Structure 1
Amino acid sequence: MAPSIQSLSMIHDSQECIKPIPAFSCCYLLRSCVRHASLYIGSTPDPARRLAQHNGDRYGAAKRTLRENLRPWEMVAIVSGFTSRVAALQFEWAWQNTKVSRHADLDGNATQELGVRICPRTAKEVKRVAKPRTSLTNILANLHLLLRSPYFSKWPIEVRFFSADVHRVWQVWLQRVDGLLNDGIRVVTDFAPDGISEVEGKELLAGAGRVGTLDVGYNSIKEYVEKSQFLLEDGERINCGVCKQRLILQHDIIAVCSHSSCHCAAHLSCLSSHFLKDKDSDSELVPREGTCPTCYSKLEWLTMMKEISLRLRGQAEVNRLFGRRQRAGTPKGQGLKSVRGRGHSEDENESDALQVSTGLDTVNLPPCSDGPWTIDCAIGVLGGIAHRPGGVSSGNDSDATVTPEIETHPQRCRRNQNTRTQRLGLQKSAMINLSDWYDAEVIE
């Protein structure tokens, strides 16, 4: 059954204040490379940037990680898969305060009953009891406890370990505890490549390392978003893949199959019912995954919801994803064929203002009856004109050098003409916009 037009209009009206599902948001576990007993739990949408802040490479470190005698810090594990920043903060607080969290079953907390600690180096039990806040075993046990809770066990969570010794403690704890994790929770390892020494591995973890290879943007679903836009903006009649009714593109919430070669589209409510019916589960209201009714390929519900949220209320994110920008100050109706230059790249995070080249620009005029002459000038960053004698460009300029070719009549190239007349002649006969060349100085 398709959603009502009134309910969908409320979604579109509120899309300005509701952001799309974030591309990435995680909770992380830090460990001091100097003293392994010092641990820290936090959350961030960009682990590599946050690690640089904790290590003092960027401004914005937490108060507990400011001590220089504990730096550098290494990121040993992350927990990702949260559908909002609030959900990540909620899990962070529960992980930091497991004793008082309503999602933790204190009666089944094995760490309090056993009172043991597992050595990360030898993976053996240590008889003495460490402080709960500084014990790696206690923190991983609390993580395992939260992932088994009725609330967090239904989330599409992924646990990723970057340190082999921390993952060893996790594996030993799984053998000691009775409860098992839900099948929907993934546990993966992302260790340093083989052949790297332990010291080099620590330096890799303290820097960006494996953390810097994480995709914290929407690049993983870029082709999926492009395919959905092409399919829904084509203008052809599209029927729901489940109920076979016609889809009203302007009013229905439509889910598109993420498989590249499948053109199946369906009402969101119809596809949700189809996924839950295949799983034959009456206790779940929101599915995790399912099979496409057309191509029968496996679809992840979170991936589809990211694409829908980008399409409905993430136009700014989509524009940044595809590099769509409107250049400010671009002249209209000018002859772009007369401008030749090498490529110029722009950072997507920078402003959309037109960047002006700092290289040397040369205006080449055809020879006159009195002999050839050239105007040499350099366009500064603010658009000002700086005279450079000799007409030789610097070889250290990294920006593209643009060489406009200006055609003039030979009668206007006389040396006895004053500067004002020559500027007017250039402005009248130029094939490009010469508003930045008005103050050019003629070399006699």
Structure 2
Amino acid sequence: MASTVSSRPIPALYTVYILRSTMRHASLYIGSTPDPPRRLKQHNGAIKGGAARTARASLRPWEMVGLVSGFPGPVAALKFEWALTNPHLSLHIPTESRLSVARQTKKNGHPRRPPVSMQSILANLHLLLRVPSFARWPLRLHVFMPDVHAAWTKWVAQVQTTPEAPLEPVEVLTDFQPSESGVMGADEIELGPPWGIHALPLDYGPMRDYVDKAQDIFTFEREGDCAVCNMALPAGQGLYAVCPNKSCEAVGHLRCWSDHLLAGEVSTHGHTHGHVLSGDTPLVPKNGHCPDCGGPVIWGDMMKELTLRMRAPKEAEKLVKAKRRQEKAADKAAALADKAASKAAAAAAVEDLPSSFEVEPSVVKTIKTATKKMRKPNEAEKPTAAKATKITKSTRVTKAASTLTKAAKTAKPTKTKAARAVTAAVGEASAALLDRSESPEVIVV
């Protein structure tokens, strides 16, 4: 019998979205996708794909007014999509809690879907995010339109006033259209900073630091003892989860982490949120705190890193290499910035020289030649087969400084103070160049 266990990691992003026609707001559509921007282009006919229900030219362009993210895979997202599309039939909703009820039947005798509105979708969405089937997943609601967010807030306030058990608040993220941006869903290029679905991370980029830390721990076998039970963690002999907090390297057994987080939820709330409607005891934790550093821990993030490390090591290695490239680019940019600042400081120092100080053109040429000698060895300093001599950057700077001093003596300053200023500048330039880390030692043969 073939195994039904997935061999793929938890995806970086998988969403269930709500689509609304910009031409007719009563026309709505629910779908699922791992790439909302690409899927929106399909619905609007910019690229091939989409759905027959969104292909009518009179309803285009469509806009994504909101979506739910955090699904552990496409199957989970499809289950949620079907339940949200058919709330009158879904078995994920208890009968006593059902909000949408079929009043009519089709010709084949099946219940007819009740009329759909934005209010009904949001009401059923609020319900599905709290039923036991989905409440333990790290789901988050993203809203991109102010009127939709206002409708959601109004419904939540209405539900919270009912005499029921306390409800766990649903995490809601808003990202409304800036005034300088283009129209979402249009085929033209967006103006201004990305927003809405265009600002969502479609890859594992936000997890680079987390993945890099875990890779380093397990590559050099620094698992240590379990952060929960304090037992040894033999390298490569079990499924170990890592604390997601940046400065913490706590590692533990998967079961130990689960028991610790579940116990924390019970002690904090007196019950485990998400099972208020049924009263069942959950098997999967949702969030909590690390027993080592005390920082916040989200179970879904830990499982995403674990599945990425165990099921897609090549993808994890790409993330680590990408982080290395970013760090290298940042260091290079910082070095260029320091170099530019040094040049600006040198230019300001030259501007501060007395205006009465005059330097002949030949002296200027001599100074430029000496400066080049400070930066790199000349042809005479290149290795030869005769004799090996170690010439350091201090040797080159000493010779160049001597040349600069001679050049300064040949100048004709009109004031003794100017001559002293030049001599001091030569000394400071020599010291600065001597401290530069870019001038390596050179072996001359």
TM normalised by structure 1 equals 0.60
Structure 1 pair 295–37 and aligned structure 2 pair: CA distance change class (3 A):
same
Pairing partner for 2:69 from 80, 83, 89: 80
Is this contact kept in 2: 1:33–1:73, CA < 8 A?
Answer: yes
Matched, 1:221 2:207: yes
Query: Which of 261, 275, 293 is equivalent to 2:247?
Result: 261
| Secondary structure at 2:88 match in 1 | helix
Aligned to 1:157: 139
**Distance in 2 between residues matched to 1:180 and 1:161, nearest whole Å:** 26
> What is the correspondence of 1:18-417 to structure 2 with a 5 Å cutoff?
18-110=7-99, 132-177=114-159, 178=162, 182-183=167-168, 185-193=170-178, 195-196=179-180, 203-206=183-186, 209-236=195-222, 238-280=224-266, 283-322=281-320
Compute the TM-score of the two structures, normalised by the length of structure 2: 0.60
Shift of 1:317: 2.2
Shift of 1:236: 4.4
State whether residues 43 and 88 of structure 1, in contact with CA within 8 Å, keep that contact through their aligned partners in structure 2: yes
Distance in 2 (CA, whole Å) between partners of 1:303 and 1:296 is 16
| Structure 2 unaligned spans of 5+ | 103-112, 273-280, 323-445
Deviations 1:43-65 (A, max 9, x none): 00011111111111111111111
What is the SS of the residue equivalent to 1:69?
Answer: coil
8 Å contact 1:148–1:181 — kept in the other structure? Answer: no
Distance in 1 separating the partners of 2:240 and 2:186: 44
Structure 1 residue ranges without an equivalent (≥5): 1-12, 114-130, 325-444
Q: 1:101 Cα shift?
A: 0.6
| 1:295-319 residue CA offsets vs partner (Å, 9 max, x unmatched) | 1111111111111101111123224
Once residues 223 and 157 of structure 2 are traced to their aligned partners in structure 1, the CA distance between those partners, rounded to angstroms, is 55
- Give the distance between the partners of 1:40 and 1:284, measured in 2 at CA: 32
Report the aligned-residue RMSD.
2.7
Task: Report the structure, 1 or 2, having the larger helix content.
Answer: 2
Could you tell me whether the CA contact under 8 Å between 2:87 and 2:100 is conserved in 1? Answer: no
Q: In structure 1, what is the Cα distance between the partners aligned to 2:223 and 2:47?
A: 52
Given that residues 30 and 85 in structure 2 are in contact (C-alpha distance below 8 angstroms), is that contact kept between their aligned partners in structure 1? yes
How many correspondences in the alignment? 290
SS in 2 for 1:151: helix
Q: Specify the code of the residue in structure 2 equivalent to 1:290.
A: G
Query: Following the alignment from structure 2 to structure 1, what is the Cα–Cα distance between the partners of residues 251 and 4?
Result: 22
Give the % identical residues: 43
Q: Distance in 1 between the 2:320 and 2:115 partners?
A: 45
* Greater C-alpha Rg: 2
Residues 87 and 98, structure 2, Cα contact 8 Å, conserved in 1: no
CA contact (8 A) 1:105 1:145 kept: no
Residue in structure 1 matched with residue 440 of structure 2 by the alignment: none
**How big is the shift at 1:181?**
8.2
Residues 312-342 of structure 1 show CA distances to partners (whole Å, capped at 9, x for unaligned) of: 1112322443458xxxxxxxxxxxxxxxxxx
Post-superposition Cα deviations, 1:122-157, rounded to whole Å, max 9, x if no partner, equal xxxxxxxxx944421122222122223232223221
Letter in 1 for 2:64: M
- Return the letter of the residue paired with 1:144: H
Task: State how far apart, in whole Å, the 2-side matches of 1:231 and 1:82 are.
Answer: 27
Judge conservation of contact 2:245–2:295 (CA < 8 Å) in 1. Answer: yes
Is the contact made by 1:147 and 1:181 (CA closer than 8 Å) also made in structure 2?
A: no
Distance 1:94 1:112, change over 3 A: closer
C-alpha deviation, 1:231, in angstroms: 1.2
Which residue is 1:356 aligned to?
none
Deviations 1:222-260 (A, max 9, x none): 110110110111134611112222111211111111111
Give the distance between the partners of 1:44 and 1:88, measured in 2 at CA: 8
Q: Verify the 8 A CA contact 1:42 1:92 in the aligned structure 2.
A: yes
Residues 224, 260 of structure 1: 8 Å contact kept: yes
Q: In structure 2, the residue corresponding to 1:78 is in which secondary structure?
A: strand
C-alpha distance in structure 1 between counterparts of 2:84 and 2:222, whole Å: 50
